[in-house]
Amino acid sequence: MLRTQPTTSLLIKSLIIFFSILIQYPAIAKEGMWIPATIKDHEKEMKSMGLQIPIEQLYNKSGTGLNNAIVLFGKGCTGEIISSKGLILTNHHCGYGSAQGLSTAESDYFANGFWAMNLQGELPCKGLTVTFIRRMENVTSQVLEGLADTLRDSFRDTVVALRIAALEKEFKTKTGLDASIKPYFDGNQYWVAITETYRDIRLVGFPPNGIGAFGGDVENWMWPRHTGDFSLFRVYAGADNKPADYAATNKPYTAEQFFNINVSGYKEGDFTMVYGFPGTTKEYISSFELSNVYNITDPISIEARTRRLDIWTKHMSWTRTIFLKYTSKRAGVANGWKKWQGEMLGLKANNVIGKKQAYEKTFQQWADTSKSVLYAAGILPQMRTAAEIATPLLTQEQYIKEAVLGIELVQQGAAFDNVIACFRLGLSQDGLRDTLTKLVTGMEGFYKNYDPPTDRDVFISMMVLYFNKCTSWIPDEFKDQYRAHDQDVNAWAADVYKTSMLTSIAQLKDFAANAKAGDSTKLQADPAWRLYNAIATMRKQKITPVLKDYTSRMRYLDRLYTNAQMQQFKNKTFYPDANLTLRLTYGQVKGLDPEGAAKYSFQTNLKDVVALNDTTVDIFKVPKKLKELYAAKDYGRWGVNGTVPVAFVASNHTSGGNSGSPVLNAKGELIGTNFDRAYEGTMSDYYFDPTRCRNISVDIRYTLFIIDKFGGAGWLVDEMNIVKAKPTTSTKAKK
């Protein structure tokens, strides 16, 4: 598939310009998210940086590698197995949704934390799964055989999908496990992951927010950090140690591979690795696509979410009931909001768009004279044209997604669509009521965490924003409702939230229980649904077709562009963009010095946490017991120099999805749990700057201190294999 190189003179010229962009990278920061099955190719470099174990211990075809101690936690985090009894360590924020589902006003795990004191006390988490990656294999030749690089995606996708389905079925038959094939390098490679998903997962330990979410939005995506962002779960299995639905008779999963825990510490410059499931990166995209991120997607999202978060925060401060309804949702919305601000800062500070434009000029010079990659010359011009057409619609789409659909009542109109559709099925009256009741019952989860007065204030703010920013793209239904209320958005909001059936699960249940065949007109008159239907119709007719064509076009061109770059620089080792598949990255413990002026330490400690205590600000309230432990210097065996290490930074290349990833030392032992990136380096999804890009992790000693001394759950520590200042590579289960 990949063709020959261009002429020597042009190649040398291109390489000089290309690597002049990268020459700033010192040895201490290693860009790249590597497929475990290819990590052998990096053995020499990893050994030179400090790796002390055989590379095969990290991953091998025989299935005994440490990849078997890593799990995809839920739908977008990472977890690690830290005992032979299936104990999982992940982030506090990764366990937030599960803790919210189990919390009540009487059992408030956010305020008080949760610690199981035995296996019987562990709490089942409905719907939560973890997935192990048992093996990976390159299947590119089977998927792409005979398909030309320039084959249009419409036909190519059909062929690829058929081949993938057949291959996955073949792997499942051969292995008895699940198999998932995903594209890499924008569809220029395909790899299969042989997986095993466990469905009975239970909550074991969850620190209160005063530890697990300490610092809140103020410290999120920042260094220094002072949060104990961790939680504990356990995998349960059937009698055969295989996945099983929840049952009281299930047993803790017996793990043959799990992480030894090293509590001897680390120093700046020490070799580290991060193993996990990074979510999404776009390191190879064009300047045109990146410009849309910088000028449209990020700023609009920040603008709309700032308004929504301000309102949610105000209402959450009023009552604990509203706090519990919105705390998990707020954390999710705020996470992206803060990250995108840092991303824009980093993109601007590094002039990343300008650097990409300079690189594209070099690429175009090579492409114009290339005799081996004949399609290369037309890639960038086509990208530019496609982006120019799509830009105005991308703006409208982003305001709809973040402003209009940021209103929960309007967004809930999508569920109402299914209710309305029932009236077109010709059901008997009993059948209609039964079907409607089932649909409405399925909405209970939404209403458990919904507060109409809070959402009404969001409605007011978001409609003002939408009307101001999208004057020529406002559906008539929006204008009509606005005019019907004398162009008073407050009166409009009050009426919508008073009359809409969508504000109350009780109203929906009552309607479902008494519905008649002609009652669909009542639903279609609902003001909230009419707003949803109007915006959905406009998107479907005027926006989605154009953006769908743009996305399809850019996907095709991105594939060709990545392919061409890999052919232009055949001596460069490329890594695939993150796609929520298992990766290993490596670097070193390294403090942060983004401006070259003030260097922050590479580590924070409990003394720093207590110094930040502020009883007037919820996110900086240190729990009473933690202050008492500090005052008494009651650290158990986890103390160091009169305090306890809390968090540290290193130069590993991470992304969303790496939340909860194990941070390993040179011996493959666990020294921390990754939970964040530094604000100045969040643009690493698009560009890796070694002076700014840092991953932030909870020190394992702080985790153990909180479990043992604060949580009083020393029985959990007893089942871990803890080592200190002595080499060990064993990952076998303890007898």
pTM over 0.85: yes
- What are 44's two structure tokens? 């020499």
269 and 328 share a domain? no
682 and 630 share a domain? yes
User: Final residue of a domain: which of 536, 564, 592?
Assistant: 564
For residue 245, the tally of other CB atoms under 10 A from its CB is 8
The residue from 14, 328, 500, 659 that is catalytic is: 659
683 and 708 share a domain? yes
Helical ranges in 92-193 per DSSP H = 96-102, 109-112, 140-144, 153-175
Q: Cβ contacts of residue 198 below 8 Å, gap of 6+?
A: 129, 130, 131, 132, 235, 236, 237, 243, 253
479 and 601 share a domain? no
pLDDT for residue 600: 64
Q: Supply the Cα-derived Rg of the chain in whole angstroms.
A: 27
303 and 426 share a domain? yes
472 is catalytic: no
Instruction: Identify the CATH number of the domain in which residue 598 sits.
Output: 2.40.10.120
370 and 514 share a domain? yes
Helix (H) or strand (E) holding 583: strand 583-588
93 is catalytic: yes
User: 496-545: per-residue pLDDT in tens?
Assistant: 999 999 999 999 999 999 999 888 898 899 999 999 999 999 999 999 99
386 and 451 share a domain? yes
Could you tell me the residue range of the domain that residue 337 belongs to?
287-564
The residue from 149, 186, 200, 229 that is catalytic is: 229
User: 307-363: per-residue pLDDT in tens?
Assistant: 999 999 999 999 999 999 998 899 889 989 999 999 999 999 999 999 999 999 999
Q: Among the listed ranges 244-248, 421-425, 586-590, 671-675, which one has the minimum average pLDDT value?
A: 421-425
226 is catalytic: no
Q: Choose among 269, 303, 317, 546: nearest CA to 401.
A: 303
Contact between residue 499 and residue 410 where contact means Cβ atoms under 8 Å apart: no
Burial class (CB in 10 A: 0-12, 13-18, 19+), 656: buried
CA dist 64 to 60, 184, 255, 257, 298, Å? Answer: 7, 25, 11, 7, 42
Residue count of the chain: 735
The residue from 42, 93, 226, 315 that is catalytic is: 93
614 and 527 share a domain? no
For the chain, what is the domain count?
A: 2
For residues 105 and 173, the model is more confident at 173
pLDDT for residue 595: 58
pLDDT for residue 207: 98
263 and 206 share a domain? yes
- Judged against a pLDDT cut of 80, whether residue 88 lies above it is answered with yes
3-state secondary structure 585-654: EEEEECCCCCCCCCCCCCEEEHHHHHHCCCCCCHHHCCCHHHHHHHHCCCCHHHCECCECEEEEEECECC
519 and 644 share a domain? no
Helix (H) or strand (E) holding 421: helix 413-421
308 three-class SS: helix
557 and 592 share a domain? no
Phi, psi of 312 (to 5 degrees): -60, -45
547, part of any domain: yes
Check residue 662 and report its DSSP letter. E
Phi, psi of 90 (to 5 degrees): -145, -165
- What are 55's two structure tokens? 């590379």
